[in-house]
Each structure stands twice: as structure tokens, then as C-alpha cells.
Amino acid sequence: MRRTPKDTEESARIIGRRGLILGGIQLAFMGVLVGRMRYMQVEQADEFRLLAEENRINIRLLPPARGLIFDRNGVTLAENEQNYRVVLVREDAGDVDAVLDRLRKIVPLAPEELDRARRELDRLSPFVPVTVADRLSWEDIAEVAVNAPALPGVTPEVGLSRVYPLETDFAHVVGYVGPVSDYDLTQGYLNDDEDPLLQIPKFQVGKVGVEARLEAPLRGKAGTKRIEVNATGRVMRELGRQEGKAGDTIQVTIDSALQNYVQARLGEESASAVVMEPESGDILAIGSAPAFDPNKFVRGISVADYAALIEDDHRPLANKSVQGIYPPGSTFKMITALAALEAGVIDPQETIWCPGHKEVGGRRFHCWRRGGHGWVDLDSSLSESCDVYYYDIAERVGIEKIAAMARKLGLGQRYDLPMSAVAVGLMPNKAWKRENRDSDWVIGDTLNSGIGQGFVLASPLQLAVMTARIASGKAVVPRLVKSVNGVEQPAPPAPPLDIDPDHLRLIRQGMYDTINSRDGTAYGSRIVADGMRLAGKTGTSQVRNITAAERARGVTRNEDLPWERRDHALFVSYAPHDAPTVACSVVVEHGGGGALVAAPVARDIVLQALYGGTPPLSAYPASQRGTIRTRQQKLILRDPAEFTPGRSRA
């Protein structure tokens, strides 16, 4: 079939259009190739020439600045300082032993440092820089730089190292950092154990406290730099840099001035104290004594210093405020009383006879006052701390309701705080004993639990939470982190406790009379300043069994016993009684009586918190003011100038 002229013309037009499109695509492709070739041959000529000459461009990690930690007022608790060091890259060094021998003649290197460096160089990839010498002087770094041609693979660097300006005050709270260990890599708190930063020898990560629990946000993200080196490995210039992301800034709820006072007041006792706001749950101070200097761990603690810490029977490395668990003793009696009131098994005006003991099942359960208290009601049972009263009501209400009330008031719980080894304590019941002791619960267990002895264990933190909940009537939860990068961390409002407010008022009145009634066990630790009256409860928990023979001849006084066999002294309190703003718990290990040892400490701490500094002597009873003045003068406190907000070296 013949094609018409019109068909022929249309075909030619289509072919021509397709040819133009194809030609355009080819032309564009050629243009891209030419442009790319020009970019590579002209713009990147120097870089590719270097790459062709024995791979002389290195990429190195830039460790980020670790996040800073501040107190609630902006005082620096953990910061970074410049640290001069020397690193070595095995693939650039050639003969490593020869380079190390030359380096040793320039800067002082201990034999153990050299051995450690050689082990790390053999273990790690050849391109990973290994820190050979740390914390060098500027003169040493300058000497290394001058001799760089003779030290292939060696680079002097300026890095950052952690420092804790308030030293012992925050050792147990903030914690400290140290080089990454194999053990650290097995722990979940590092989150991403494939982070290349963790492979850098001597890279510091949190070991305990806030530093460890908030490791991921504090660590930040690594940056990189591209450097040009010559044939001997000497750095010629920096070709490019991508900065990393600094770690987050953390602000905690603690007041550093109050924390300093708490640590000073606890002194060298084996003791702890927790101070909270009853309405918000913010922790204002959380001390554990004796303490230690965390800077020694960052710099490398000596064998002698570490041995002294380990061998000290007062356990300075342990954070007793959250790790220590103790029988709460009579500080537990508010729980037993509330359980009985809520169950309706007692009337506040009901009196119970205390002859000094209670017999149950042929066994005698003793009161701390050998001759007994006589007739006592709820209020006097608290203020005078009558054991027999609580044996009686514990038997009536039963362990299950006592345990439920204890958990409602904060015992037997682990709080989600960024601190190490926060203890859960122990609030036992029948099921617990069957599962853990393979035996049935007996009435004696209930009576012992009713006065905070037996299997019951609580930490100072939990006792402070219990006190804050009684004082506020709210289910407050302790809080330690106030803000992150300046953004306030929301604290949901605490719901009201599911406890009759009238019952809580009765307990508060008993705690008030404990301190302000002449018959109260803590009358000697009262506050006389108007509007600042203290309410609280003493506690003394036994750490040994007292035999019948010892009771017959007279119980040995605590001061006549070896230190480790003495009772623990406890005291919980809040103030002001009418409008609480501070709740406090104090535990002195093997201190003896709570009224004589723990109560005066707690009163001083509470007054320091209420006044925001040293309280006037007029807040104390007139007869005690001379003693208090002498005590205040003996306390070694930090200069207020050290608590200047925002100080940082990073």
C-alpha cells in the first residue's frame, strides 16, 4: 500500500522530534560527565592527589563535650576542664615500640602506662587512636609537637576531662566518670554499646549516680575531622570538620548549700539524711556519710586510697540514703496506727494498759520502757512510743492491712531516680514468708512488724517519702531531675492519699506531741521559733537479739557495746507543723537511741532548710543555745562564694 505524501511528512516530523529528544538526552549526559570530571580534576585535585599518595587523609572522631550538671539554683556540680594528652595511631606509627621509646624520652611515662598502651594498640583496630599519656603539662605537649617529625603516628591533643568542684558533697548523688571497661559494655545503661565513642581508649562514661543513670543524654554525639598527614604521619592541616553534639545539660532539684550543710552535719558518722518538699516531692538534699572525693576516680585513684575506702567499716562508697535498708523501728508506728484506724479496729480515745510487755503464745514481747507506760491512747502511744500499744493493735488489724498501708505510704517500692542501686526495701506479708522462708506467718511476726522490726526494711529515702505523704496527705513521688537543657521536667500533681483526712490529722498531732510535749521522746529536739514548730517520730532499731538472761540482769547500754552491735538511730520529721514545706529522715547506723542521736541532727537540718542558711539561736530552746553556738562554730562549711551559679570551665 502506497503512503500518501501527508503520511510521509508526519513520519518525518515524528522521527525528527524523537531524534531531537535523544540528542538532548545525550548532550545532557555528556554535560554531566564533563562537569563531574572537571569537579574531580580541578576542585578535588589536591584531595585525590593525597589519596593517591599512600592514603594520607585520615578521619578521626571528635569526642563531644559531656553535658554539665547543675543544682536547682544553677550552681555547677559537674563540669569539664581542659586536658592535654598524647595519642598514637598504630597504622601511622610503623615501628610502634621505637616510637614509644622515643616518646618516653620526651614525656614521663610510667612502665605500667606503656604496658597498658601496648595492650590497647594490639587489641584495637589499627586506625583507632590510643591515649598514651594523659593530663600532661603545656610544656610536655609543646615538646611533643616540636619533635613531631621523629614521632610518626603521635598527635598531641587538647581534650576535656570531668571535674567535680564541690568534691565530697555530691559524690553519692552525681557520682563520677571513668574509662570504658569491658564490664561497662555488658551493662544496659550504655544503651548503644556499638557507639564508636565507646571504642576510644580512656573515653569516659558514667560509673555511678546521675553520671551513670543519665549516661546517654550526658554523653552527646561524636563529631569527625578530616586531616592531612605527610609521609611521616605528621598532621599538616585540617581539611574539614563536622562538630558533634554536646551532651545535655542536667539540672537537679538539690540545693547545693543545703547539701553541703547535711554532709557537714552528718560528719564522720555512718549516716544518711534525705530532705524533701512534701507537696512536690522535690529532693532538696540527700546525703550519705562518710563520703569520698569523686575527682580521685576520674584521675585514677591510687591503690592506697582505694584500699582505705574499701576497708573502712563506715562504708564511704555506699550511698546509704537509697541503698541502705534498715528496720524502721518506731518510725513505722504511724503506719500501724493508720492501718488500725482505717480498718476501724481502734478508737483514738481507747486506752491500752502497758505493763512493760505483752504475752502472746507463751512468749513475752517487751516494751522499750522496762516498767511500762501505764494506760496509753493513740496520741500518747505515738509521743511516748509505747511498743505494747502497737503489739496490741497490730494483732487486731493483721499483717495484710499493715503491709497495704505501708505500700500506700511509700515503703516497699523502688523509685525511678537516676541514682545507683536504689533499694526496694521489704514490706513482708504471709505470701512473702511462704515464698522466701518456706514457712507460715505467725502472730509473733505480726507483732514485730507492728513496731517496725522483724522482716520489715526501709531506706532513708522511703522514710522521707512516708513522712512527706503523711504531712501533705498526697501520694508524692520523689523527684531528682528538675530540667534538661533548660526545659522544666513536668511533675504530675500528686493525687490525694486514699486515707481518711481525720485519721491523718490524728497521726500528725501525735507526731507534733512527740517533739512538743514534755513527755514526748524528742522533746529535747524541739523548735521554739513561732511558725516553725517541728513534728516527728523517733525510732531505734535493734541489730542484735537480747536474751532473757540479759534482760534479767539489765539490758547492756549501747555505749557499752562494740560499735557494730549498737542499735540504729532513726528520726523522721516535717515542718512547719501547720503548713509543711520540709520533710526529713535521718538514719545513724549504730548510733544508739533515735531521740538522743538522730533527732538533733534532723532538727538542725530542717532549720537550715527553713531559714535558707544558718538559723538564729532564738529558734532553739534557751537552755541549748550555748551548745548549739559551739556546734555551729565547729562545723566546716564551704564559703558561700563557692555556690556561685553557672560557673563552668567547658
Interval 77-133: pLDDT, tens: 999 988 888 888 887 788 888 888 888 888 888 787 788 888 888 877 777 778 888
Mean pLDDT of the residues in the chain: 88
356 conformational bin, left if phi > 0, alpha if psi -120 to 50, beta if neither: left
pLDDT at residue 53 is higher than 60: no
Interval 210-261: pLDDT, tens: 999 999 899 988 777 777 766 555 556 767 777 778 899 999 999 999 999 9
Q: What are phi and psi of 574, to 5 degrees?
A: -145, 160
16 residue type, one letter: G
Per-residue model confidence (pLDDT) at position 525: 97
Q: Assign domain 256-296+316-478+496-546+558-643 to its CATH superfamily.
A: DD-peptidase/beta-lactamase superfamily (3.40.710.10)
Q: Report which DSSP code applies to 3.
A: P
Of residues 399 and 103, more confidently modeled: 399
Q: Look up the pTM and report it.
A: 0.84
Q: Break the chain into its structural domains and give their ranges.
A: 57-252, 256-296+316-478+496-546+558-643
- Coil vs helix vs strand at 84: strand
77, 170 Cβ separation under 8 angstroms:
yes
pLDDT at residue 392 is higher than 80: yes
Of residues 120 and 352, more confidently modeled: 352
Q: Which residues contact 573 (CB under 8 A, 6 or more apart)?
A: 467, 511, 515, 534, 535, 536, 537, 583, 584, 585, 599, 602, 603, 606
Report d(CA 153, CA 232) in Å as an integer. 8
Per-residue model confidence (pLDDT) at position 221: 87
**Strands 250-252, 69-70: parallel, antiparallel or unpaired by DSSP?**
parallel
Whether the domain at 57-252 and the domain at 256-296+316-478+496-546+558-643 fall into the same CATH topology: no
Catalytic residue numbers, as ranges: 330
Report d(CA 579, CA 563) in Å as an integer. 39
Task: Tell me which residue of 352, 348, 379, 350 sits closest to 367, measured CA to CA.
Answer: 352
Packed helices 111-123 and 96-104: angle between N→C axes, nearest 10 degrees: 150
What CATH class is the domain 57-252? alpha beta
Confidence of residue 543 (pLDDT cuts 50, 70, 90): confident
